């Protein structure tokens, strides 16, 4: 019974995403020109991307907390969140590339939004490289936390501000948030889209918590070995 | 229909693996806690 109490939100997330996969492929969607049936990818591509932004925000929060209180667990939480964010970002890019192939004819087109997303991901990959280059734990934590704040601001600039300043982007959402702006999403798609958001957020949180717990175990083992 | 079913099966497989991982992590956490308690007891005595 206690196990179910701990697991209920994960089971709920799994049920929601099973519904999203089934509904996403089987429910009717409007017949948009060019995009056609590929519009169904919005439940996956946008969901994963928003899941990534959600978990990167969590990472930002823990980095700020680490700088304020210097608790090593906060640094581990920030690192685990970035790892989860990178995984979701990669999945978001891959689903986007498949979508691009079917609508724009190529896996990658020279578009400010797409290039911004790729550069944003590289900024977070550099966070991992930076962590790997410092041996001292506290110094590594402080450097990584400062860089993480900088990385989130840069990421925001690359995916939200620069594409809006550029004259032409074929990626939707230049005027607002993709799929959330009024008129972006057909009403019949909302019954799958909003659960998809919830499902991907839960999945991101679950993966992050698993990564954090395993990182903490590694840290404790090395502490026990050293003492 | 077939694609949806295939994706659901793959997704359920991934989540089953995550539940298994979580169980392994919980076991490791319990073992570590015991180890830490033993080490603290040794230090005190």
Does residue A3 fall inside a structural domain? no
Report helix angle A190-226 to B2-44, nearest 10: 30
Cα–Cα dist A75/A144, whole Å: 8
* A175: in domain: yes
Q: A76 in a domain, yes or no? A: yes
pLDDT band at A3 (very low <50, low <70, confident <90, very high): low
Q: Which domain holds residue A118?
A: 13-226
Give B29's contacts in chain A (Cβ within 8 Å): 213, 217
The pLDDT tens digits for A42-59 are 999 999 999 999 999 999
| Domain assignment present for A221 | yes
Share of chain A above pLDDT 90, in %: 70
Separation of CA A200 from chain center: 9
Tokens of A214: 């395993």
Do the Cβ atoms of A224 and B1 come within 8 Å?
Answer: no
The Cα A119–Cα A116 span in angstroms is 5
Q: Which domain holds residue B34?
A: 1-45
Mean pLDDT of A66-85: 96
Number of domains in chain A: 1
Prediction pTM value = 0.90
CA–CA dist A37, A48 (Å, integer)? 19
pLDDT, average across residues A71-85: 96
Note whether A45 and A92 are within 8 A (CB): yes
Question: Do residues A196 and A43 lie in contact, with contact meaning Cβ atoms separated by under 8 Å?
Answer: yes
Is A120 in contact with A155 (CB distance < 8 Å)?
Answer: yes
In this predicted structure, the answer to whether residue A150 has a pLDDT above a threshold of 80 is: yes
Closest Cα in chain B, distance from residue A22 (Å) = 6
Between chains, do A25 and B1 touch, taking CB under 8 Å as contact?
yes
Q: Structural domain tally of chain B? A: 1
In a domain, A7, yes or no: no
For A188-225, write each residue's pLDDT tens digit: 889 999 999 999 999 999 999 999 999 999 999 988 88
Determine phi and psi for A7, rounding to 5 degrees: -95, -10
Q: Do A21 and B11 touch (CB under 8 A)?
A: yes
């Amino acid at each position: 019974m206690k196990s179910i109490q701990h697991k209920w939100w994960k089971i709920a997330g799994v049920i929601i995403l099973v519904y999203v996969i089934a509904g996403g492929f089987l429910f009717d969607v409007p017949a948009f020109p060019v995009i056609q049936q590929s519009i169904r990818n919005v439940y996956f591509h946008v969901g994963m991307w928003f899941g990534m932004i959600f978990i990167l925000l969590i990472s930002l929060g823990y980095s700020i907390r680490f700088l304020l209180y210097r608790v090593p667990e906060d640094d581990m939480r920030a690192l685990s969140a970035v790892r989860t964010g990178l995984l979701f970002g990669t999945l978001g890019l891959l689903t986007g590339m498949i979508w691009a192939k079917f609508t724009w004819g190529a896996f990658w087109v020279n578009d400010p939004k797409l290039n911004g997303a790729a550069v944003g991901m590289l900024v977070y990959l550099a966070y991992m490289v930076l962590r790997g280059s410092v041996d001292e734990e506290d110094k590594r934590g402080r450097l990584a936390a400062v860089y993480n704040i900088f990385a989130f601001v840069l990421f925001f600039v690359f995916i939200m501000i620069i594409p809006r300043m550029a004259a032409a982007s074929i990626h939707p959402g230049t005027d607002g948030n993709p799929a959330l702006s009024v008129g972006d999403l057909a009403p019949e798609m909302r019954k799958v889209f909003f659960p998809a958001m919830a499902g991907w957020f839960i999945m991101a949180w679950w993966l992050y918590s698993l990564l954090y717990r395993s990182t903490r175990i590694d840290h404790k083992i090395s502490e026990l070995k050293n003492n | 229909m077939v694609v949806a079913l295939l994706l659901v099966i793959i997704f359920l497989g991934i989540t089953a693996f995550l539940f298994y991982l979580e169980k392994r992590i919980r076991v490791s956490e319990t073992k570590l806690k015991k180890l830490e308690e033993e080490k603290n007891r040794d230090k005190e005595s």
